[in-house]
Amino acid sequence: MKAIDAPPLLEDGELLNTTIMPIISENDILKFFNLEKDDIQEFRITHQSDGIYICIRLNVKYHQCPVCGQMTDKIKDYSQKKIIHSVLNYSQCFIIYEARRYRCPHCHKTFFEHNPFVFGSSRISVATVSNILRDLKLPNETFTSVARRYHVSVTSVINIFDDHVRISRRPLPACLGIDEVYAFKTYKSKFVCVLVDCTDQKIVDVLPTRKKDDLISYFMLIPREEREKVLYCSFDMWETYRIVARHVFPNASCCIDKFHVVQELGRRMDKVRISAQKKYMTQIRELQQKKKNIGLTKEEEYIYEEASRHYYVLKKFNWMFISTDNRIFDPNEEKRYNRRLEGYYNYYDLFDYMVKYDRELDIAYDLKDSVTRFYRQCHYEDAKKKLEEIIIDFRCCPIEEMSQFANTLTRWKQEIINSFMIVDREKNRKMNTAIVENRNKSIKLIKHASNGYLNWERFRNKILFSLNSDTTYYLNIIKKEDK
């Protein structure tokens, strides 16, 4: 069967009446707005060049005076409202609503009748508003994209969002993750601090700062009873978070997620690799200079070639030092021809080639690997003993970049050990803040998709509205004083 196409357009952009008529009828409109035939005094559909016009006047009904409560059907006057009703996606649609005003015979107050089309003095229909809000829930939808879809201005979409969306903070969870994302520049800070419930993966709240005093003030406004419920608090190696967590969560064990430790160690590993690369580069440059001036001996020629190869491998396969790809450790992996090295190599050979001729790289990698094994093999019970051994190994290392890491491990020792705690006995699960990192990506997406937010409350509401699946909007407009 052929799909039903949108009605064809005439050359001047006018829609064909005959095609439209069966698509939108009085009955549809009544059903749409939950009206009965008796509710309607006048009803007309016309097609004009800029869209479909539905003209409606409701029947006279007794209304209660909003001031004194008297019932009345005394008409004062009418005013015509043109309402944008973007529910048909092939055409702009307007409701021309003859809004009736009543006058109270008792207190003389005048007021508009109840109607199902718009909220208050808005010019956008209730249905359009709910479509707009539904679309705004998607993280990648922007105020601009939604405005375009529903034939309304960006300002209108923003106003609708501000009028209907206000998400409250969620209660503090047992497993709280604190992380930051570089996303919103306020007068206070360029970081957004994200509080996540690590169990149900919902965002508890987002704050416009990660400064100590601001965080303490924020948490201290939460009743102690609620703060006491936080049993585990996980964050990155930012001293402020530890100070704040100890101050505001009396029952919490603080943890540093594996991710942050491994990331920091990876940065150090990379510095060792770069310095090895530099050594080869210096050698290459010196020999190039000599070659130009007096030429190279056979032996120098060989050293030059070797240094170039080492430099090439270190630069091209640098990712191996921070990777957990198993192929690096498998000597039996298929070998492929490498043109630069003029031979057959697999990842195992290439890695071996890198560390075999550079003692510092070899030592540094062994240390890094001991941390990887520590996370893979240890349990809470033996984590302390093993970590202390690792700290000694790092401290004894002659490479400064690595020996300094002993200080990092010492400074965060208890938090690292705590990250082995089982927070969910049933599922035998440790605290996991990987989801926080995931959320951060989405927050950045919201930020990028919106050409930067200038209003913090709006940005915060959009994050919570779009990223927590269970959040919803208010059906009625939130009063300004409640905001």
Q: How far is the CB of 57 from Zn ion (least distance, A)?
A: 24
Long-range Cβ pairs for the range 149-158 (8 Å, 24+): 149/86, 149/89, 150/84, 150/86, 150/124, 151/84, 151/86, 151/92, 152/84, 152/86, 152/124, 152/128, 156/123, 156/124, 157/132, 158/458
At closest approach, how far in Å is the CB of 111 from Zn ion? 9
Least distance (Å) between residue 138 CB and Zn ion: 45
Tell me which stretch binds Zn ion (CB under 5 A): 22-30, 107-115, 218-226, 313-321: 107-115
Q: Site residues for Zn ion, window 45-74 (CB under 5 A)?
A: 65, 67-68, 70
- Give the binding range for Zn ion (CB under 5 A) out of 96-104, 341-349, 436-444, 460-468: 96-104
Residue 232 dihedral angles phi and psi, to the nearest 5°: -135, 135
* Distance (Å) of CA 398 to CA 19, 282, 368, 402: 83, 22, 14, 8
Near Zn ion by CB under 5 A: residue from 107, 243, 422, 475: 107
In Å, what is the CA distance from 283 to each residue of 214, 279, 310, 350, 375? 52, 6, 11, 21, 38
CB 124 within 8 Å of CB 118 = yes
Question: Please, which residue, 10 or 68, has the CB nearer to Zn ion?
Answer: 68
User: 70 or 283: whose CB is closer to Zn ion?
Assistant: 70
Cβ distance to Zn ion smaller for residue 104 or 194: 104
* Interatomic CA distance for residues 246 and 178, integer angstroms: 13
Least distance between Zn ion and beta carbon 69 (Å): 7
State the minimum distance, in angstroms, from the CB of residue 103 to Zn ion: 9
Count the alpha carbons within 13 Å of 239 in the hemisphere toward its beta carbon: 2
For Zn ion, the closer CB: 67 or 396: 67
Nearer to Zn ion, 104 or 397 (CB): 104
- Give residue for tokens 């198993």: 326
Closest CA to 222 of 243, 195, 198: 195
Nearest-approach distance from CB 480 to Zn ion, in angstroms: 25
Residue 253 · residue 422 · CB < 8 Å: no
Among 35, 104, 230, 328, binds Zn ion (CB under 5 A): 104
Binding of residue 101 to Zn ion (CB under 5 A): no
Query: How many CA atoms lie less than 13 Å away from 471 in the CB half-sphere?
Result: 26
Q: For Zn ion, give the closer residue by CB, 53 or 111.
A: 111
Instruction: For residue 462, list its beta bridge partners.
Output: none
* Residue with Cβ nearer Zn ion (47 or 63): 63
Q: Measured between alpha carbons, how far is 56 from 404 in angstroms, rounded to an integer?
A: 77
Closest contact distance (angstroms) between CB of 71 and Zn ion is 10
A 10 A CB-CB count for 247 gives 14
Q: State yes or no: residue 392 binds Zn ion (CB under 5 A).
A: no
- The 423-442 contact track toward Zn ion, x by CB under 5 A, reads --------------------
Tokens of 482: 């409640």
Residues in binding contact with Zn ion, number by CB under 5 A: 8
Give the DSSP letter of residue 9.
Answer: B
Q: For Zn ion, give the closer residue by CB, 68 or 434.
A: 68
How far apart are CB 442 and Zn ion at their closest, in Å? 51
Judged by CB under 5 A, the chain residues 266 through 325 that form the site for Zn ion are none
Q: Of 68 and 422, which CB lies nearer to Zn ion in the complex structure?
A: 68
Residue whose CB is less far from Zn ion, 67 or 422: 67
CB 76, min distance to Zn ion, A: 12
Shortest gap between Cβ of 110 and Zn ion (angstroms)? Answer: 10
Alpha carbon distance 142, 137 (integer Å): 10
Shortest spacing between CB 61 and Zn ion, in angstroms: 16
Min separation Cβ 109 and Zn ion, Å: 5
Is the CB of 43 or the CB of 111 nearer to Zn ion?
111
- Judged by CB under 5 A, the stretch of 56-64, 97-105, 281-289, 316-324 that binds Zn ion is 97-105
In sequence order, which ranges of 63-211 are alpha helices (DSSP H)?
Answer: 126-136, 143-149, 154-164
Structure tokens at 218: 């924020």
If one asks whether residue 106 binds Zn ion (CB under 5 A), the answer comes out as: yes
Which string of x and - marks every residue 453-472 that binds Zn ion (by CB under 5 A)? --------------------
What residue type is assigned to position 219 of the chain?
Answer: F
Task: Give the nearer residue to Zn ion in terms of CB position, either 37 or 106.
Answer: 106
Reference 97, options 116, 76, 74; nearest CA is 116
Which residues are at the interface with Zn ion (CB under 5 A)? 65, 67-68, 70, 104, 106-107, 109
